[in-house]
Structure 1
Amino acid sequence: MPGNGPRIRARAAVAHGLKADLDNKLFGQHIASDIIFKAVSGFMNNDNPTKPLVLSLHGPTGTGKSFVIQLIAKNIYEKGKSSQSVHVFSATHHFPHPSETLTYKSQLQEWIKSNVSSCERSMFIFNNIDKMPPSLIDSIKPYLNHHVQLDGVSFQKSIFIFLSSPAKTGDGTILENTWEKDATPGSGPIQQLANNLPQHNMEAPVGHHSG
């Protein structure tokens, strides 16, 4: 991309680099690595996806969620997570006061729309989604569905990644939703996000090195 805009790697470089990083730097997560590679490379190779790529990673500390995000961003954007097209939100840091949820909703929606308007391949990462107010999660959902445009903006080439750490211990899990799947109703906002995602066990803890 010319000028001062975000620089996104060529699709062949994304696929080659991500495959190499997942194989060589992420250990003990073979099933998850394969799912992530197919989802991300397939999405980036699609010139006209019907909906955004949505990845949802769940597991206790040490299962490699943040490291996986680092590898994905590194191989899509030349500046990795430092790219101006990568936006990271922490539920406890950015949305700490339940009484301010209406303000948070308006600000978050405007932030998503304005940044996707600037870069259609924007990435939005939400840490601790299990700690986000349910109505705030609801405000994100319209951007995850099949829309040619929403309020004049197309979100079909955007990437949304949700991370959560369950309170109970045990094997971590990764849930992923590729762009072609439809949402399935659930019992609550977080469950609705997760219900339509095929679940795969991850072996915890994960081993990795930054290389």
Structure 2
Amino acid sequence: MDRDQHCPEPENPAPRAPGPYVIAPVRAVLRLRRRVCVLRKRRLLQPGAESDEGPGAPGPGCGPGASRTDLAQPKFFTFDSPAELAPRTPRKRRRRSRVVLYPESSRKCRPRAERQSRAQRCLLLLVAIVGFQVLNAIENLDDNAQRYDLDGLEKALQRAVFGQPAAVSRIVALLRDYLATHVHSRPLLLALHGPSGVGKSHVGRLLSRHFRAVLEDSALVLQYHAQHHCPEPRAAQGCREELARRVATVVAQAEAEEKTPLVVLDEAELLPPALLDELHGLLQPQRAHHFHNAIYVLLSNAGGAEVTRFVLQNASRALNPGPDGAAAEEELRTRLHAFLRSQHPLWRSAAVVPFLLLDKRDVVSCFRDEMAGEGFFPEQARAEHLAAQLSYYQVAGREFAVTGCKQVVATVNLL
């Protein structure tokens, strides 16, 4: 047989029957379709209820007569049984909380704070600067007051001045307030008034001695006696010019050293009106600023009759410590100030300190102190014997010395 000759093929081949590999997938698709229809029917029916068409009726969209409306409706498929499907309730939308909750296993990071404005920082800086300045000023106040040792002055006055506790306390309080700072708007004028022999000149000497010691310069303390420096009333104009020159020199030197000078004028009731006018001019705020930093102490017997009358009329409460005594002191100060303002305008700006009459016990203390100073033994019985020789006002069971301790020195010198 020839190699190039091909075998003839049949012209009409017989049709082949479909094999099992085509029918099996079709059957599987049909089974899945039925299963899906049954599940849809069960899902649409409520639990425990049956369809009106019976249990075997095909579900919507599964029968041959399914309408297009049923097919158009959305169908949802789940593998959950109808008993497990609970009716869905609309959830309420929960409001987001502003509190940030961090899980336990994560690192807690603080959110970034808002940037502070520059104005707030400047305000904090200004508050810090003002606070620092206030603290510095308080420290300077303490330093300026400590320079004058007012605690030591108070102890010295209480130890050496008898029968005037209220006057000593008021003097120290006024000095403490004034010397708390070096810069002032006007000078301090202390007016010590009372009858003769109650300790006014003694307080003036103690103040001068103390300020000479703390200022370390005797030129910053000026003591002016009316009868000694201006004995003749006809030379009042010359005395006025001399007083103005001396005060100007003292305050100028004190301003250069940043200190407060002391000017003591004794027997001020004998000063001519021209000198009182000059003193009144020195106290005016229109003067140069270095005249404002000064302390003037006027010692005068003016108003002594007023003090004597008030003490004798209020003997039961004038010298008693407590509220009654403080009220009596304030009343006496008001009366005395009103009396002095009628004498000269100088007293209007003065801080009046009244000195009361001395009790007999205070006079005995004066005798003992003077006897110890002169080298005598301060025997109590002898001091009481010497004090009994003086004259006294006897009111409400109390005895007030007429001349105070003025005759104590002369009496002790006769021993």
- In the superposition, the TM-score normalised over structure 2's length comes to 0.40
Q: Is the 8 Å Cα contact of residues 190 and 296 (structure 2) preserved in structure 1?
A: yes
Q: CA deviation at 1:197?
A: 4.3
Q: If you compute each CA radius of gyration, which structure gives the higher value, 1 or 2?
A: 2
| Residue of structure 1 equivalent to 2:408 | none
User: Which stretches in structure 1 are left out of the alignment for 5+ residues?
Assistant: 1-8, 177-184
Q: CA deviation at 1:82?
A: 8.4
- Number of aligned residue pairs: 189
Aligned to 1:123: 262
Output the CA distance in 1 between the equivalents of 2:275 and 2:352: 24
Paired with 2:218 and 2:351, the residues of 1 have a C-alpha distance of 30
CA RMSD after TM alignment: 3.4
CA contact (8 A) 1:14 1:76 kept: no
Deviations 1:162-204 (A, max 9, x none): 1112474825x9x99xxxxxxxx94442xx2334546555332
Higher strand share: 1
Alignment pair present for 1:70 and 2:205: yes
Q: Give aligned-pair identity as a percent.
A: 23
Correspondence for 1:11: 145
Q: Does residue 298 of structure 2 align to residue 159 of structure 1?
A: no
CA distance in 2, matches of 1:154, 1:58: 27
CA displacement, residues 84-104 of structure 1 (integer Å, 9 cap, x when unaligned): 221111111211222211111
Please tell me the residue identity of whatever aligns with 2:277.
Answer: D
**Distance of 2:182 and 2:216 partners within structure 1:** 23
SS in 2 for 1:34: helix
Tell me if the contact between 1:116 and 1:122 (Cα under 8 Å) persists in the aligned partners.
yes
Shift of the alpha carbon at 1:107? 1.5
> Aligned-pair distance for 1:54?
0.9
Task: Please say if residues 14 and 41 of structure 1, whose CA atoms lie closer than 8 Å, have aligned partners that are also in contact.
Answer: no
Which stretch of structure 1 is more off in the superposition, 96-105 or 17-26? 17-26
Deviation at 1:115, TM superposition (A): 1.7
Structure 2 unmatched runs, 5+: 1-142, 312-328, 334-339, 374-415
Q: Which residue of 2 aligns with 1:104?
A: 239
Aligned to 1:6: none
Shift of 1:65: 0.8
Counterpart-to-counterpart distance in 1, 2:295 and 2:220: 10
Work out the CA distance in 2 between the residues paired with 1:199 and 1:110.
26
C-alpha distance in structure 2 between counterparts of 1:201 and 1:88, whole Å: 21
Q: Does the alignment pair 1:202 with 2:337?
A: no
Query: By percentage of residues, which structure has more helix?
Result: 2
Do structure 1's residue 193 and structure 2's residue 329 form an aligned pair? no
Distance 2:354 2:213 in 1: 31
Conservation of the 8 A alpha-carbon contact between 1:143 and 1:155: yes
Does structure 2 retain, via aligned residues, the 8 Å contact 1:122–1:158? yes
